[in-house]
Structure 1
Amino acid sequence: MHNAKTELGEDIRMSSQKLWGIHMPAEVDTAPIDNHYVGIGWAKAGDLSSLPAEREAFKQALSQAYPDAKDGTIRVWAGTMYRFIHEISVGDLVVYPSKQDRMVNIGRITSDCQYLASDEHPNQRKIEWLGHFPRDEFSQAALYEIGSAVTLFQVRSNAAEFLKRLNPESALNAPEPNIEDDVSASGPEDDDTVTREATNLAKETTNDFIIKRLKNGLSDYDFEYFVAHMLECLGYHARVTAKSGDGGVDVIAHRDELGFEPPIIKVQCKQITDTTGEPDVNQLLGTIGDGEYALFVNLGSYSKPARATERNKSKLRLIDGEQLVEIILENYHKLAPRYRTLLPLRQIYVADVAATRKPGQD
């Protein structure tokens, strides 16, 4: 990776590569990372790469494939497809914030657009991944920019911050934002779509805020006490184990006050925002006996083998950063004052995303 970073830094200083941001749904799992690609959908429209390099031609093709879509939506889809096929160049750089593991992935485009009819996201470009970074390593402004409400966009204001994660000495000659170009390419969608995307962005920003506070505002040991407190909010009695000799068990939780009656829950806490692997999970499993259960809590995500272990072990539960935030939000009114001070939140109502989603939307 060191060589790749050095070469990338040299490329940036010598060229005016563009830095693109792309969104893919959480359902794609880790496939883009494992198979080295980024892709977008609209499968019903077929292979649009043979169309004239004109947005109007893309609008007509998408209108025919999706006759129920509104004009504003078709305009945005056409701009996205046009950019993906005709404006992205081999050698351009891509930021892909993956929802599945809350990582920011940065790579280089290595192919023209390829159409794979059998894939749910058939329009694809091959990628050489150059780095994968937890979201908390970036400023909130940078995360807000890549939380753009459109599928494909050009990263401008915070481009240098992303590239510096690959090579701290690099500097990106990012062009000044061309507002007219951005509007013509993306344009306003219909009200339902804009509302839905604004809701998603608000939720994602809140998740980032909470996870950063838990990562930077607590020591490792304090985080164990926080997890114990969350278990108490859920109706358990919980105690934190001694700092040394815990055998991988940080918290012990139980329903009865004295902790004699099963089930007993043994908890391991990791205050990390990257991926926890199967070996750590197996270490925790090795501590449980009859009438005992294993709970692993982190601020990041879990590897595929770790998740497979969870599916095969009925006495194991893995809670990642996203799930921990959900538990916090559901039980925020029960939090001790010191934790509400650490996580100052105000309740608001947002649109119900699921209720506004329309069949067939990408």
Structure 2
Amino acid sequence: MAKMWMIRGEGGRLYDDFRERKAAAIGWAELAPKAKPGMSRKELTVIYQQVEPNVKLGTAISGASQVWRFINEIQEGDWVVTYSPANRTYLVGKVTGPYQYRPEWTEDDMPLIRPVQWKTIEVERDMLSVRSKNTLGATLTVFLLPDTVMQELLSDSKVSSGFGTSSMIADTEELEPEADPLAGLEILAIERIKDLISRLDWEEMQDLVAGLLRAMGYKTQVSPAGPDRGKDIIASPDGFGFENPRIIVEVKHRKGQMGTQQIRSFLGGRHKDDRGLYVSTGGFSKEAYYEAERANVPLTLWTLDNLVRALVENYEQTDSETKRLVPLKRTYFPA
């Protein structure tokens, strides 16, 4: 019976590569050419330590276990899912063949692949239950998802038609221990903060971005509701926009990626001395990033992931109104 696996690609960086190359992939470049079907986890761990002699034992065990599962346990017909932190979407597909070693993709951190037929419909994280969000938040590169999460993803993505969703017994084997479980907690915390911010309305999101810019040392003017001529916030050292840098900010708090047309529209009203910041909680298309790189004024694109990380970095300097929008508590761990 079909199972469903989470396969993360470099923290979500390879999301578009997975889709375009019709594959799911993992790295471990030094281990990849030596990993073969039928090897035990212990054998792979020993090889890992040989090719990476400075690696810690816990890291070797965790990495070798995930490579072993990718090669030996994932089967043709299984479901796979991968996540984009920038767009907060899950891509779902089916494995269509055996694992392959692709040395020509090593530089892209994709030496070990599984061919996958990806579905065009993506699943939005905000549409999932809290339980599924928590399960999908585990930070291992390869892990098996329980039946309840698989059924929810297939239902929400409407990709099960024609494939069947026969029930399976949830995997009872514990997940491999992560090499650094504390490092994983930071990623989980970032995702929880994103969940909190996603529930803000558009006006609160605009106030949050303005509050963050003030924490970063700027004074802000926030446009009232209504036609804004392509700007929601003006940030500058003096608060009037007379002193440079004069940052023009557009905030889009909606589902779906911003594309080239939206970027061109924003750039159309900019002056040569302006600096642009475009915030889209729905993310950006690859073409939008290309458009921003070719812009005639400096332009930075912020996804929700960029926004949250900047907020965490500057949270202590934010004012009470900004903290009210997103209440956070600092936690310390051993260095």
TM > 0.5: yes
**Aligned-partner residue type, residue 287 of structure 1:** G
**What does residue 117 of structure 2 align with?**
128
* Counterpart selection for 2:311 from 309, 325, 328: 328
Per-residue deviation, 1:351: 5.6
Describe the superposition over 1:238-264 as per-residue Cα deviations: whole angstroms up to 9, x where unpaired.
222233222222222232244444543
**Aligned-partner residue type, residue 347 of structure 1:** R
Contact 1:24–1:98, Cα closer than 8 Å, also in 2: no
Stretch of structure 1 that moved more, 270-279 or 282-291: 270-279
Pairs within 5 Å for 1:64-79 = 64-79=50-65
Distance 2:117 2:272 in 1: 47
Shift in CA distance, 46/293, structure 1 to aligned 2, threshold 3 Å: closer
**What does residue 187 of structure 2 align with?**
204
Per-residue deviation, 1:328: 1.4
Per-residue deviation, 1:296: 0.6
Shift in CA distance, 258/141, structure 1 to aligned 2, threshold 3 Å: same
Whether 1:19 aligns to 2:4 is yes
Whether 1:224 aligns to 2:206 is yes
Per-residue deviation, 1:236: 2.3
RMSD: 2.9
Describe the superposition over 1:219-276 as per-residue Cα deviations: whole angstroms up to 9, x where unpaired.
2123222222222222322222233222222222232244444543221101136422
Per-residue deviation, 1:69: 4.2
Shift in CA distance, 224/98, structure 1 to aligned 2, threshold 3 Å: closer
Describe the superposition over 1:323-356 as per-residue Cα deviations: whole angstroms up to 9, x where unpaired.
211221233234343432332211112466xxxx
Whether 1:162 aligns to 2:153 is yes
**Aligned-partner residue type, residue 328 of structure 2:** L
Per-residue deviation, 1:175: 0.9
* Counterpart selection for 2:92 from 106, 116, 138: 106
Distance 2:213 2:47 in 1: 53
**Aligned-partner residue type, residue 115 of structure 1:** Y
Stretch of structure 1 that moved more, 39-48 or 62-71: 62-71
* Counterpart selection for 2:23 from 37, 46, 59: 37
Shift in CA distance, 69/140, structure 1 to aligned 2, threshold 3 Å: same
Shift in CA distance, 124/351, structure 1 to aligned 2, threshold 3 Å: farther
Q: What is the number of equivalent residue pairs in this alignment?
A: 325
Shift in CA distance, 341/47, structure 1 to aligned 2, threshold 3 Å: same
* Counterpart selection for 1:175 from 169, 177, 187: 169
Secondary structure of the corresponding residue to residue 43 of structure 1: coil
Distance 1:221 1:168 in 2: 34
**What does residue 268 of structure 2 align with?**
286
**Aligned-partner residue type, residue 82 of structure 1:** W
Stretch of structure 1 that moved more, 292-301 or 50-59: 50-59
**What does residue 252 of structure 2 align with?**
270
**Aligned-partner residue type, residue 260 of structure 2:** E
Shift in CA distance, 257/97, structure 1 to aligned 2, threshold 3 Å: closer
Pairs within 5 Å for 1:232-243 = 232-243=214-225
**Aligned-partner residue type, residue 150 of structure 1:** L
**Aligned-partner residue type, residue 253 of structure 1:** A
**What does residue 298 of structure 2 align with?**
315
Distance 1:323 1:133 in 2: 21
Describe the superposition over 1:81-135 as per-residue Cα deviations: whole angstroms up to 9, x where unpaired.
3322222111100111234644322111111111112222311111111232343
**What does residue 357 of structure 1 align with?**
none
Secondary structure of the corresponding residue to residue 6 of structure 2: strand
Distance 1:205 1:45 in 2: 27
Distance 1:52 1:168 in 2: 32
Contact 1:89–1:109, Cα closer than 8 Å, also in 2: yes
Aligned-pair identity (%): 26
Shift in CA distance, 168/338, structure 1 to aligned 2, threshold 3 Å: farther
**What does residue 245 of structure 1 align with?**
227
Contact 1:49–1:113, Cα closer than 8 Å, also in 2: no
**What does residue 116 of structure 1 align with?**
102
TM normalised by structure 1 equals 0.78
Per-residue deviation, 1:288: 1.0
Contact 1:213–1:342, Cα closer than 8 Å, also in 2: no
Whether 1:349 aligns to 2:332 is yes
Shift in CA distance, 52/308, structure 1 to aligned 2, threshold 3 Å: same
Distance 2:142 2:190 in 1: 22
Contact 1:233–1:335, Cα closer than 8 Å, also in 2: yes
Stretch of structure 1 that moved more, 55-64 or 305-314: 55-64
Contact 2:139–2:187, Cα closer than 8 Å, also in 1: no
Contact 2:66–2:142, Cα closer than 8 Å, also in 1: yes
Stretch of structure 1 that moved more, 145-154 or 85-94: 145-154
Describe the superposition over 1:128-178 as per-residue Cα deviations: whole angstroms up to 9, x where unpaired.
112323433333432332233432111015332222222399866131332
Per-residue deviation, 1:21: 1.1
Shift in CA distance, 261/129, structure 1 to aligned 2, threshold 3 Å: same
Shift in CA distance, 336/132, structure 1 to aligned 2, threshold 3 Å: same
**What does residue 196 of structure 2 align with?**
213
